[in-house]
Amino acid sequence: MNEVRSVTGAATSAATTHRRTRITVRGMALGDFVLQNGTLLIVIAVLALIAGVFWVVLASSMPTIHQFGWQFLTNQAFDPDHNSFGVGPAIFGTIVTSVFALVFAAPLGIGAAVFLVEFCPRRARTSLAFFTDLLATVPSVVFGLWGFLVLAPWMQHSGEPWLKLHLGFLPFFVGTPRGVGLLTAGMILTVMILPLVIAIAREVMQIVPNEQREALLALGATRWEVVRYAILPFARVGITGGVILALGRALGETIAVTLVIGNQANKISPDLFATGYTLPSVIANQFGEATPGLFRSAVIEAGLILIVMTLIVNVLARLLIARMGRHHRVGGLVA
Which residues from 198-257 bind another protein, rule CB under 8 A?
198, 220, 222-225, 227-228, 245, 248-249, 251-255
Q: Which of 194, 196, 298, 324 binds another protein (CB under 8 A)?
A: 194
- Are the CB atoms for 257 and 185 separated by under 8 Å? yes
Task: Give the nearer residue to another protein in terms of CB position, either 240 or 314.
Answer: 314
User: Total binding residues for another protein by CB under 8 A?
Assistant: 106
Least separation in angstroms between CB 326 and another protein: 9
Nearest to another protein of 3, 81 (CB atom):
3
In the bound state with another protein, the residue whose beta carbon lies nearer, of 43 and 167, is 43
d(CA 291, CA 24): 57
What minimum distance in Å lies between the beta carbon of 69 and another protein? Answer: 21
Buried (b) or exposed (e) across 39-69, using 16+ Cβ within 10 A? eeeeeeeeeeeeeeeeeebbebbebbeebbe
Measured from the CB atom, the residue of 237 and 307 that comes closer to another protein is: 307
Q: Do 216 and 232 contact (CB within 8 A), yes or no? A: no
Query: From the CB of 10, what's the least distance to another protein, in Å?
Result: 5
Binding mask 152-191 for another protein (x = CB under 8 A): ---------------------------------------x
Stretch that binds another protein, among 5-13, 76-84, 170-178, 206-214 (CB under 8 A): 5-13
Restricting to residues 257-316, name those near another protein by CB under 8 A.
259, 280, 283-284, 287, 296, 300, 303, 306-307, 310-311, 313-315
Pick the closer one to another protein by CB: 157 or 329. Answer: 329
Of 10 and 215, the one with the shorter C-beta distance to another protein is 10
Q: Is 111 in the site for another protein (CB under 8 A)?
A: yes
Of the two residues 14 and 165, which places its CB atom closer to another protein in the complex? 14
Among 65, 73, 95, 108, binds another protein (CB under 8 A): 108
Site for another protein in 46-85 (CB under 8 A): 46-47, 49-50, 52-53, 56-57, 60
Residue closer to another protein by CB (options 166, 329) is: 329
Going residue by residue from 313 to 332, which x/- string records binding to another protein, judged by CB under 8 A? xxx-xx----------x-x-
First to last CA, the chain: 33
